[in-house]
Structure formats: C-alpha cells, structure tokens
Amino acid sequence: MDFILVMVGILKGSFMFLSDLARRTTIPLEIEFMSVSSYGAATESSGVVRILKDLDTDIVGKHVLLVEDIIDTGNTLTYLMDYLKGRGAASVEIMCLLDKPARRTKELSVKYVGFQIPDAFIIGYGIDYAEKYRNLPYVATLREAIYRSTN
C-alpha cells in the first residue's frame, strides 16, 4: 500500500494552523477533522473526553497526523491516539503549535512541536476564550483579570 497521510485537525482550535500547514505540505494528503470536548465552557479540563464529530473517512492502513493547537494535560490526545490506533491507522503521530509541558498529566509522545510555552492562558490564531479571539492573526496571552472575572 502507498504511504497515505491523513492530517486530522482537532476542531475548533487547530483550523488556522492546519490550513497553513497543509498549504506548505508537498506530499499528497487527505484532510479530516474531529471535534472533541473535555472542557465544555470551563477553562479547566473535566478529564472526560467526548467525541462530538468523528472522522468521515476510513483510516485503516493510513498514517495519521493529529494536528492540535495547544497541548495542556495531554488527556485528550492520549485518548485520541488510542482511539485512532484502534480504528486501524498504520501510525498515529502528534503535531502541535504550542505545548505546555508543565501542565502534562499524561505520558504523551509529541513528535512535532512548534513552540514550548509556559503555563499561560493563550488566545489567537484559532485558539479561543469563550469562542472569542480565534480570528486574531497572532498568538497572545489573555490577561487573568478577563478570564477570572467570568468564571
């Protein structure tokens, strides 16, 4: 079987990063999306991962690259790696724009990392706070007074 790469963007936060990444990729690929939740409307993960939108295509024998905006605890990606391997993917790797290793609670192998960052509340370039700020063309730190006053 030929090498088939499937980039799987984790919605909603990865959409800008995935779009830029796909435009720069020179090998044939398929693009898919999944939507998962472990946060709800909160700023802290509940720890329970729910798949809200699953893949639309079969990944048996294909190489999957999970494209994520930001990794905190690693709980969601650990779950997704096991889930996609169970669906027959030939391999599953992770690429993230931003990684917060200080927040990690799960052992997680992240093959491709854009930037390691400290534990700060990040917005912009697809990353939101309460569905706001995704459209910013840059990554920024949200002032604590903004997200503490609404929780």
**Which residue numbers are catalytic?**
72
Handedness of CA 23, 110, 92, 125 (dihedral sign): negative
Question: What b-and-e string marks burial along 48-79, b requiring 16 or more CB atoms within 10 Å of the CB?
Answer: ebeeeeebeeebeebbbbbbbbbbbbbbbbbb
The helix/strand/coil state of 80 is: helix
List own/partner pairs for 84-88 with CB under 8 A and 24 or more apart. 84/8, 84/59, 87/55, 87/59, 87/60, 88/58, 88/59, 88/60, 88/61
How far apart, in whole angstroms, are the C-alpha atoms of residue 65 and residue 54? Answer: 15
